[in-house]
Structures are given as C-alpha cells and as structure tokens.
Structure 1
C-alpha cells in the first residue's frame, strides 16, 4: 500500500511539471523538459566498521515548497564475520513561507527488521529576535528477532531568542 501511494505521488509530481511541445522542421513533435542544475551530494566512506554510500538531492522546489530525498546503503563487517547489509531512504518536506517541515524515513537491516521514523515541525512564531516551534517525532520497528515494537515518540516546544 505504501509503495502504491509513493508511486502515485511520483506520477502526480511528474504530471504537474511544465512541459512544452516543440516541433522540428519535419513536423516531429518533442517534449521540451526544463533543465535546471540542483546541488546533489554523494558521500561515501570506508572504515573498520564497514563501507557505506548515501546520495541526497532535491526532488521538487518552487517558491513555497521543497522536497529533498536521500538514499543510503552500507555493508558492515566486524570481528565475527559479515553482518547484514543496510539500506534506507528519507524524504524531507519544507514549507518555505512558514518554515514548517516534515520527514519520513526507513532503514532496513536484512534479518533484523526495518525502522520507520516520521516527524513534523510547526513554526509557531518567527521574528528577528524570537523563534518558537513545536516538533514531534514517532518511530516504529517492524520484523526481525525482536518483532514489531515502538521505538518511541516525542513532542518538543522549542524557543530561541536573541537579546
């Protein structure tokens, strides 16, 4: 079900993108897709615990909304041989005018289950000298030797000021 919702979201986002139809001298029509360069970031590393790679990039950005995505994979090794592979992903949403944001992410370790986390931040007040926001997060573990269980939830009221 989640895959179907995510796929539908991707199709809707692709359909909402502006496409221009251009025609060449022979009458053939082509879609002209606007191209813009966005900063993408790939990180990788190898150490005594294992090797990993992650890639972060912007999926959608306009004057009011921004969606970023991250995908990661890791191969762990230790003193007792190879451990399971890890894969994960995360989507981050930011509402630019209000400064509010949300995220959802999942990490799977083969044989040990999947951790799913989601969170939101609502910007209550923002001025030059004072910022107040309310944030919350929830996590749940699915499958693996320990079975399905809550990882925990939290709610915070954050304030910061300049005096």
Structure 2
C-alpha cells in the first residue's frame, strides 16, 4: 500500500511540474488592459507520461522523456521511468536511458541502467560507428556491453561483443 501512495505522489508531482513549465508573458496596452501572451507553437523538449492498468496485469508506470539537444548534426534523447505491478505488489523498478545520434553519419551510442530492489541492476551500453556509406552500401563497427549487478542471482559475468558489418544493395 505504501508503494501505491508513493507512486500516486510521483504522478501528481510530474503533472504539476509539467503544468508549471508552460511559459506565459503578460503585457499591458496603452489603456491599462493586461493581456496574456501564449505562444502559438513551441518546441516540446520533454514529455511527462503516466499509465495505470489495474485490471490485468496491473502495471503502473510514470516517467519523463525528452530531447535536450537536437541540432542539425547531433541529437540526445533521455528517458527516466518508474514502474510497478499494483496487483502483485511488486517492488518499484526505476530506470534511466540515454541515447546519442550523430546525424551526418547515423552513428549512435545508447546507455541504460535499470534497478529493481532485491533483483539487482542491469547496465547496458551499445554503439555503432558508420565509417563508410553511400547510396548502395555502408560499413560500420558495432559494439555492446551488458552486465547484471547484485540482487537475487548475484553479479553475473558481462556479456559483450564487437562486430564489423558491410552491406551492399544490388
């Protein structure tokens, strides 16, 4: 029951922060009338979300997803979340994910960490570097690393690898 209250408080706080972050300017005309200026369009860099399905399987999730950097050459996306199963009184799983994209080469780097109390933490990293591409072919190097720390099964050996890929369309 305590997890349910903390999840409810988290959802309310996320929604309040989202509502307060909306910019509003107030101006006054020559006659003393005040007007609120609201932008017609703005770049949405962050999105708060929440979902609860208490029927089956009973999973509740709350999180925030955003793009702090998005230029012509680079893009960074970030995601933080918390989830639990209300029906089965599961512990709250918390996670962070970040990804980087170099747009001209379509190279990327992804990082994530997910923690569940009593079950441990999963850490993952992967990336791809495209060093050659044209209209009909591309070549890249990919690598990944993942490892589970602590929790029920204990710390496991890492899983990792590096691959070279070449692809050509005929």
How do 1:21-36 and structure 2 match up within 5 A? none
**Which residue is equivalent to 2:150?**
143
Structure 1: 5+ residue stretches without partners: 1-34
CA distance, structure 2, for counterparts of residue 156 and residue 53 of structure 1: 35
Query: Which among 66, 70, 86 is matched to residue 57 of structure 1?
Result: 66
* C-alpha contact (below 8 Å) 1:44/1:54 kept by paired residues: no
In the TM superposition, residue 116 of structure 1 has moved relative to its aligned partner by 0.7
User: 1:82 aligns to what SS in structure 2?
Assistant: coil
In the TM superposition, residue 160 of structure 1 has moved relative to its aligned partner by 3.2
Normalised to the residue count of structure 2, the TM-score between the two structures is: 0.64
User: 1:121 aligns to what SS in structure 2?
Assistant: strand
Highest CA radius of gyration, 1 or 2? Answer: 2
In the TM superposition, residue 85 of structure 1 has moved relative to its aligned partner by 1.2
**Which residue is equivalent to 2:8?**
none
Show CA shifts across 1:55-113 (max 9, x none): 321011223221110112211256xx422111101110111222211111100011111
Q: How many residues align?
A: 127
CA distance, structure 1, for counterparts of residue 140 and residue 58 of structure 2: 37
How do 1:1-163 and structure 2 match up within 5 A? 37-38=43-44, 40=46, 42=49, 44=51, 46=53, 47-48=56-57, 50-76=59-85, 81-163=88-170
* The structure with more strand, counted as a fraction of residues: 1
Structure 2: 5+ residue stretches without partners: 1-40
In the TM superposition, residue 49 of structure 1 has moved relative to its aligned partner by 5.3
Normalised to the residue count of structure 1, the TM-score between the two structures is: 0.66
CA distance, structure 2, for counterparts of residue 45 and residue 122 of structure 1: 38
CA RMSD between the two structures? 2.4
